[in-house]
Structure 1
């Protein structure tokens, strides 16, 4: 028995859903997920079943013969017009015969003989293709006086009877893909909707967040790409570069005289724009020794495979990348929200994770406060420690610390949220809309933040005699310092655009 999924468009009439269930029963298929919500789409129902492959094909064929199986996601046309019906019995029936003969779906009807426009019937239809539209208009114009009110070939005026078709069209505009892939993606997206609806979320808000996420990434590349850059002189031979792309996680570079290390690679979709930015600020990528990845989210690891160097990461991070589920290794591993969000964001962001990797040893060397130290590395004369997180934000997340210079890369466990631009704040909220929380363990995430602040306070005390303080390099936002109460931006922020 294998698991299969299919999407149906069934008429809104008694017994229609029962017919589908009967077909599944006849072929000994077990329905283990069904979702229908008339507030989203009046006719679309999602099914997941367990059956043999042969039975699945028979079920599809029988549903297709009934006209219930959704087999195409081609753009749907919307036509709205007034038609003048003769005032006699059977006039409406004859008109509807013409509609039925062209397989048009009625989205809107308005007629009342007591109104001041008693001879007009206003009709809204959805049709599959242009030839159908032309045939219908030709038939109707030969029989009735009519006025065309609207014709929308792009689907923007479609009503909720074809909501999922319109949504699929919007997804196609973002990523460009074939129907088979879109069917699978729609099924996954519907699973998010089903779960969030149970939790009291507005389903339309879910769809809006998905489309906005995809469009925001698509529309911040190339000539629309921008970034905020901080350049900090660590010592005579070393520099720190902190780069905030338009969306997603920061990219850091630590440069010594002879070598360069990247900490987190950002989204894959920004790779080409980032290379241009590096050239603009004088970074020589030929010096790049390796990439140190804090965690598996696409905005931190998603371009690792595009650089011709080795990436260094925790085993938990590699496991999440391979499982395509950011909840892997956590208490919410079975949560469908996390799994489907991972697929979506990987798709939208051109996820290209590292394949040439070294995994950190799974052995505690010592502790920095309450945080285990599991490995170390050098960049020039700078010595770094690899600290293992508590797993609050994500399983396998790591922090990187240079104690001598007070450089601490805190990933997504400690961020100066106040330093984020309003656009970046809006983008970050989208992920929360789709998962309810960006942390896989909220309580651990709180402890993680508290533990990091305690470590920073301890480092500041040790650095005070040298006139230094700990530089906090969060997964998002500006490089900052901690004054004992709040995080404050350190140094100047330079804005970069592709026309710079």
Structure 2
């Protein structure tokens, strides 16, 4: 364990040397020394690490030599950075708060920077972990703060510091606003509490969320390279499948210059995805085009506002109606899934798509004996699609598309080709099942729906396109 001694050194040569010798003679490792003459010419903070009994012996010897402040109990030093606005007196509210909590300052470093926020570093002696936790929460309301160094063996302090550090780290990496950072912190805590009930380590939860954010950022811009596959089908139809490392597939059917897309990835990749489509299909924005959403998950509808017509089930449209009204969407009704869905929205820069272009198929889902019910059909560029809606095994509003002439079936996330994942897809798609406990709302029902898909298909060769992963050739007997 670690312990910080607040020493008052006598005003004579060799005082620091003698105090250091006392600590070192016991086999303790001095891990940090802090002294600032401008604050107190005699006060010195010495942090040592070792066994608890040995640290107590060091306390006794320092007291005996008159080096230890008897009215200042030992604690931990936490090094913090306050990001202050560039204005006279901006540090005063922070200093008043420090005074209010009666903290000793062991270190101050400030260097004026022209323009932008000012960075003010301070080391605070922590004698009460609950007090510093309260201080951090109140200081966060005054300005942006970062925890630079602290004693990780102090559990209560560690929890508070970890939350703040986690939120700051993610916010900096992906450029979150203060408001979104606060939302991320709340939802991350809710995920942790849910997983803690299943005896999952809290730190693995935050590590997984951090990995989620890191991967979304890693493939932005020039690093966005979806795996692209192209197929020539009969009747003059071509199929192009874009598989990004993160988020859903985007599949495009082209016939007579017209384009029908099925699903469209995360909102944070909107520009990258559009650029790919413009390169693959010259004059993309001027062509007649439409989008079909197999379901309303946030990783499927990133380009919904870039198509004049968006086909989807009535239940999926209800999902977006709820969001437009500021209500919980269909996924968020599930308490196990709600925190992850909200984290996904924050990190992927999701905004609900416009309702104006949506063309719902079928009506509200009614109880049925079948796992996949025929709810209607639609045609585009001479292609004819039968639409089947599931009972909500993966999520409410989920659909399957079947084009019998072309022998194509689009399954959304009811069936995904896990064996066809690229290494990058596999890495990313491991995260959601952990954070949601399962990507399916009802795993048993989802399994039954997957099995029923094949009963919709007549004998012969088919091409199955799932919501994620490579296309899968099928032979139906």
TM-score (norm 2): 0.67
The secondary structure found in structure 2 opposite 1:473 is strand
Q: Residues 352, 122 of structure 1: CA spacing in aligned structure 2 closer, same or farther, 3 A cutoff?
A: closer
Task: Give the equivalent residue in structure 2 for 1:453.
Answer: 454
Task: Give the equivalent residue in structure 2 for 1:427.
Answer: 428
Which aligned runs of 4 or more in structure 1 are off by greater than 6 angstroms?
80-84, 95-99, 118-123, 130-135
TM superposition shift of 1:213: 0.8
Task: Give the equivalent residue in structure 1 for 2:120.
Answer: none
Q: Residues 363, 270 of structure 1: CA spacing in aligned structure 2 closer, same or farther, 3 A cutoff?
A: closer
Q: Residues 252, 284 of structure 1: CA spacing in aligned structure 2 closer, same or farther, 3 A cutoff?
A: farther
Task: Give the equivalent residue in structure 2 for 1:125.
Answer: 78
TM superposition shift of 1:389: 1.6
TM superposition shift of 1:322: 4.2
Distance in structure 2 (CA, Å) of the matches to 1:81 and 1:279: 65
The secondary structure found in structure 1 opposite 2:247 is coil
Task: Give the equivalent residue in structure 2 for 1:302.
Answer: 302
Per-residue CA distance 1:148-192 (angstroms, 9 max, x = gap): 9xxxx9646443251111011112113434444433432222122
TM superposition shift of 1:372: 2.2
The secondary structure found in structure 2 opposite 1:301 is coil
Task: Give the equivalent residue in structure 2 for 1:4.
Answer: none
Preserved contact between residue 239 and residue 254 of structure 1 (Cα < 8 Å): yes
Task: Give the equivalent residue in structure 2 for 1:479.
Answer: 471
Distance in structure 2 (CA, Å) of the matches to 1:243 and 1:97: 59
The secondary structure found in structure 1 opposite 2:342 is helix
Preserved contact between residue 326 and residue 339 of structure 1 (Cα < 8 Å): no
Preserved contact between residue 464 and residue 472 of structure 2 (Cα < 8 Å): yes
Task: Give the equivalent residue in structure 1 for 2:274.
Answer: 275
Q: Residues 178, 138 of structure 1: CA spacing in aligned structure 2 closer, same or farther, 3 A cutoff?
A: closer
Matched, 1:249 2:202: no
TM superposition shift of 1:453: 2.6
Distance in structure 1 (CA, Å) of the matches to 2:312 and 2:455: 25
Distance in structure 1 (CA, Å) of the matches to 2:321 and 2:206: 27
The secondary structure found in structure 2 opposite 1:376 is strand
Q: Residues 128, 409 of structure 1: CA spacing in aligned structure 2 closer, same or farther, 3 A cutoff?
A: same
Per-residue CA distance 1:21-51 (angstroms, 9 max, x = gap): xxxxxxxxxxxxxxxxxxxxxxxxxxxxxxx
Distance in structure 2 (CA, Å) of the matches to 1:313 and 1:320: 11
TM superposition shift of 1:267: 0.9
TM superposition shift of 1:380: 2.0
Task: Give the equivalent residue in structure 1 for 2:442.
Answer: 441
Task: Give the equivalent residue in structure 1 for 2:380.
Answer: 379
Unmatched runs of 5 consecutive residues or more in structure 1? 1-79, 140-147, 486-500
Matched, 1:265 2:235: no
Distance in structure 1 (CA, Å) of the matches to 2:190 and 2:339: 8
The secondary structure found in structure 1 opposite 2:378 is strand
Stretch deviating more after TM superposition (266-275 or 350-359): 350-359
Task: Give the equivalent residue in structure 1 for 2:221.
Answer: 222
**Greater Rg over alpha carbons, structure:** 2
Preserved contact between residue 311 and residue 354 of structure 1 (Cα < 8 Å): no
Task: Give the equivalent residue in structure 1 for 2:27.
Answer: none
The secondary structure found in structure 2 opposite 1:137 is strand
Preserved contact between residue 412 and residue 476 of structure 1 (Cα < 8 Å): yes
Q: Residues 358, 125 of structure 1: CA spacing in aligned structure 2 closer, same or farther, 3 A cutoff?
A: same
Preserved contact between residue 193 and residue 203 of structure 1 (Cα < 8 Å): yes
The secondary structure found in structure 1 opposite 2:107 is helix
TM superposition shift of 1:217: 0.7
Preserved contact between residue 34 and residue 106 of structure 2 (Cα < 8 Å): no
Distance in structure 2 (CA, Å) of the matches to 1:179 and 1:279: 34
Aligned pairs (5 A) from 1:128-207: 128-129=81-82, 136-137=106-107, 155=147, 157-158=149-150, 159=152, 160-161=158-159, 162-207=161-206
The secondary structure found in structure 2 opposite 1:470 is strand
Q: Residues 303, 174 of structure 1: CA spacing in aligned structure 2 closer, same or farther, 3 A cutoff?
A: farther
Preserved contact between residue 270 and residue 302 of structure 2 (Cα < 8 Å): no
Task: Give the equivalent residue in structure 1 for 2:392.
Answer: 391
TM superposition shift of 1:261: 1.0
Distance in structure 2 (CA, Å) of the matches to 1:406 and 1:443: 28
Distance in structure 2 (CA, Å) of the matches to 1:327 and 1:442: 22
TM superposition shift of 1:84: 9.1
Higher RCO, Cα 8 Å, sep 6+: 1
Unmatched runs of 5 consecutive residues or more in structure 2? 10-14, 24-32, 68-73, 84-90, 99-103, 110-122, 124-144, 153-157
Preserved contact between residue 341 and residue 435 of structure 1 (Cα < 8 Å): yes
Distance in structure 2 (CA, Å) of the matches to 1:404 and 1:138: 74
Task: Give the equivalent residue in structure 1 for 2:343.
Answer: 344
Stretch deviating more after TM superposition (425-434 or 317-326): 317-326
Task: Give the equivalent residue in structure 2 for 1:488.
Answer: none
Distance in structure 2 (CA, Å) of the matches to 1:349 and 1:418: 26
Preserved contact between residue 462 and residue 476 of structure 2 (Cα < 8 Å): no
The secondary structure found in structure 2 opposite 1:298 is coil
Per-residue CA distance 1:209-241 (angstroms, 9 max, x = gap): 111111111110111111111111112421111
Preserved contact between residue 228 and residue 240 of structure 2 (Cα < 8 Å): yes
Q: Residues 237, 203 of structure 1: CA spacing in aligned structure 2 closer, same or farther, 3 A cutoff?
A: same
The secondary structure found in structure 1 opposite 2:166 is helix
Distance in structure 2 (CA, Å) of the matches to 1:409 and 1:123: 59
Distance in structure 1 (CA, Å) of the matches to 2:450 and 2:314: 22
Q: Residues 370, 204 of structure 1: CA spacing in aligned structure 2 closer, same or farther, 3 A cutoff?
A: closer
